[in-house]
Structure 1
Amino acid sequence: MTTGVGVVVIGRNEGSRLERCLRSLAGLAQQIVYVDSGSTDGSVQMARNAGAEVVELDMTIPFTAARARNEGFACVHRLLPQLRYVQFVDGDCEVVAGWLPRAQAFLEAQPEVAVVCGRRRERFPHHSIYNLMCDLEWDTPTGEAKACGGDSLMRADAFAAVSGFRPDLIAGEEPELCVRLRAKGWKVWRLPEEMTLHDAAMTRFGQWWRRTLRGGYAFAEGAFLHGAAPERHWRRESRRAWFWGLGIPLATLIATLAVGWSGLVLLLVYPLQVLRLARRGSGSPRKNWLLAFFLVLGKFPEVLGQIKFLLNRFGAGKAALIEYK
């Protein structure tokens, strides 16, 4: 068992995925806290049977994963006053054997690093193109990084010093936290070691669309909060979404009104972009074409997510969780 380490697991109705997650953590940390957000599948009792302390969120307060993680951290810190490190993990993930001691050893050897994460993999990448895209999305460069994802080991004192996650963010809370940590002089690091197995269970187009829309929302909110120099957080991603998801369609409409149907030739930039991305791919031809197609198509839900953020921020809209499963 690693000493001074607590774990915060969050979830709702994860069923066997949560059971697998908790089983992978058995005997690895001094304290495990499970934060439940209104499960109806017996997750709460399952977690208690596994020896975890359970926090049941007040669901009359708008839910966010950020708020759940903050409440989990508060609980684990109260139960373990000598807490030095906290591993955050989603309830649909299984922690790979050996990850926690390796990550803890890295933080102890690198006092300037506040957050360390490893390789998150999709459990069933070949069940759907959407699962495969998740797996590739998480295959990021190792070494010093700008951000982590939902699974990571953090220094408890660094996390507390910046007041944890912003509880009002419905997406993108981990990169936003890392922006504030790096502004305080801390570093974020990604190791090449395997960290977690994730079960996206994303097999339908509608799930992919909503997840991508949520990503666009996160880009817009991240740019709004930290888009100024020198950080320029997610400004490039936001601009790409506006260009491909709205700029080209508007330009095509204007051109068509001005010169007739020949203005539709502007739409050829989409298949050309798919071709360009597919030729850059390193997988099989079929996989390269599919990934390229969805990368281009994804700009449309991304720009809708950006618009949704603007309506919520400056209009009468109200931020609400965007879930895909």
Structure 2
Amino acid sequence: MNNQIDVVIIGRNEAKHLARCIASVRASNGVQLGSIIYVDSDSADDSCAIATRAGCRLVSLQSGRMSAARARNAGFSLSDAGYVMFLDGDTVLHPDFLAQASQAMQGSVAVVWGHRRELAPHSSWYIRMLDMDWIYAPGETAFCGGDALFRRSALLQSGGFCAELIAGEEPELCARIRAGGGTILHADIPMTLHDLGIHSFAAYWKRAIRAGHAYAEVSGLCRRQGRELWRHEVQKNYLRALQLPLLLAAAVASCLQPHALLMLILLLAMPVRAVLRCRYKSGSVWIRAQYILHSYLQLMAIAAGQSRFYLMQRCGVRSRLIEYRSGGDHENRI
């Protein structure tokens, strides 16, 4: 088998991060590195020039519906290596990940991903909480994120990413890979550092809206194809989104009516249990309590994102790329 690894980097207005990302790929240890392919999604900055100067193969998408799925497919189509590593342009690849991940490609393993963490987790409360979202237990998983090493044969067999999707493309692809007998492995090794760059509530909320859109769109696509993915999660997201408003309403009611105190106590049991159950996220009870608050806020935005998708679908409006970072600091994701 061809043991070379091609790396596909996708980006949109990534001039701030791209040179660093490319340099981190070239610093990889112990692997046969093939092509570095940069796929640009209609950037307004000099991302393409940076990639060209760094010796990357360049694909420039300048028209049509932009999405991470479309960009990844465009890069993958140029690869002829045995493995393909996908990266977002705002990441820094760990120098040992490719070697360790390719060694883990044993048996039915078709995808290997490692630990992605934030580059500057203490630069804002939002990034600190979202950094904790990246913490997953190692082992076999249902899907990976945007950074992952794929067997090229698994990508060919599955047909690649679904270009129809503007979010949630990785879980949908992984579901097809698993249906074909492949395994998704979360290895207990460092993979990438990510520069999320969220410093406002508006960007934080918009990112979660994007996640809700992904749940709804992927669930609907799979249902139309006779497959099941995220249908129950979509329903649960609506129910879970009510937890924080109910808790606040119960707190107000308990101040006005003493008999409502029991309802407040019962509702408080849910976040308390959640704080206890996420000990693997942090050793600090205070940090875990903040993380649960973040989770409730995210669920409210996710439910809003789902509703937004269904409303647009009902109105016959096709969703476009949603960028949650402003100015020249965009990420090529919904």
Cα distance change, pair 208–127 in 1 and its aligned pair in 2 (3 A): same
Distance in structure 2 (CA, Å) of the matches to 1:314 and 1:5: 43
Q: Mind listing any 5+ residue stretches in structure 2 that lack a counterpart?
A: 250-255, 326-334
For the pair 1:72 / 2:83, whether they are aligned, the reply is no
1:15 corresponding residue in structure 2: 15
* Cα 1:48–1:314 shift into 2, 3 Å: same
The answer on 1:234 being equivalent to 2:238 is no
- Structure 2 vs 1, CA of residues 316 and 297 (structure 1 numbering), >3 Å: closer, same or farther? same
Deviations 1:79-99 (A, max 9, x none): xx3x11000000000100111
- The alignment-based identity, stated in percent, is 38
> Are positions 1:201 and 2:201 aligned together?
no
**Residue type of the partner of 1:20?**
R
Cα distance, 1:73–1:184 mapped onto 2, change above 3 Å: same
RMSD: 2.8
Shift of 1:225: 3.3
Matched residue, 1:256: none
Contact kept in structure 1, 2:165 and 2:218, CA below 8 Å? no
Distance 1:61 1:123, change over 3 A: same
Three-state SS of the structure 2 residue aligned to 1:16 is coil
Matched residue type, 1:61: G
The letter for the 2-side match of 1:43 is: S
Q: Deviations over 1:216-245 (max 9, x none)?
A: 1111223223469x9742234312221133
How do 1:110-121 residues align onto structure 2 when only pairs under 5 Å count? 110-121=106-117
Q: Does 1:39 align with 2:43?
A: yes
1:163, CA displacement in angstroms? 1.2
SS at 2:111 equivalent: strand
Q: Distance in 2 between matches of 1:249 and 1:202?
A: 25
Distance change in 2, residues 1:47/1:248 (3 Å): closer
Which moved further from structure 2: 189-198 or 130-139?
A: 130-139
Structure 2: distance between partners of 1:280 and 1:179 = 27
TM-score w.r.t. length of structure 1: 0.85
Given that 1:6 and 1:85 are in contact with CA atoms closer than 8 Å, whether structure 2 keeps it comes out as yes
1:312 equivalent in structure 2:
312
Assess if the C-alpha contact under 8 Å between 2:27 and 2:95 holds in 1: no
How far 1:15 sits from its partner (Å)? 2.3
* Contact 1:212-1:298 at 8 Å conserved across structures: yes
> Is structure 2 residue 53 aligned with structure 1 residue 49?
yes
From the superposition, tell whether residues 148 and 22 of structure 1 become closer, same or farther in structure 2 (CA, over 3 Å): same
| Residue correspondences, number | 307
Change (3 A) 1:157 1:204: same
What is residue 151 of structure 1 aligned with on the other side? 147
Query: Contact conserved, 1:270 with 1:296, CA < 8 A, in 2?
Result: no
Question: What is the deviation of 1:265?
Answer: 8.8
Select between 288-297 and 191-200 the one with higher mean Cα deviation: 288-297
Q: Which consecutive segments of 4 or more residues in structure 1 shift more than 6 A? A: 247-250, 264-267
Matched residue type, 1:33: I
Structure 1: runs of 5 or more not aligned: 254-260
Q: Is the 8 A contact 2:109 2:183 kept in 1?
A: yes
The amino acid of 2:274's aligned partner reads L
Matching residue's letter, 1:53: R
Q: Is the 8 A contact 1:3 1:30 kept in 2?
A: no
Distance 2:108 2:90 in 1: 30
1:90 equivalent in alignment to 2:88: yes
1:275 and 1:207 mapped to 2: Cα distance? 28
In the superposition, the TM-score normalised over structure 2's length comes to: 0.83
Report how far residue 310 of structure 1 moved: 1.4
Partner in structure 1 of residue 137 of structure 2: 141
Residue in 1 that maps onto 2:322: 322
Return the match for 2:100 from 99, 102, 107: 102
Identify which of 213, 220, 223 aligns with 2:219: 223
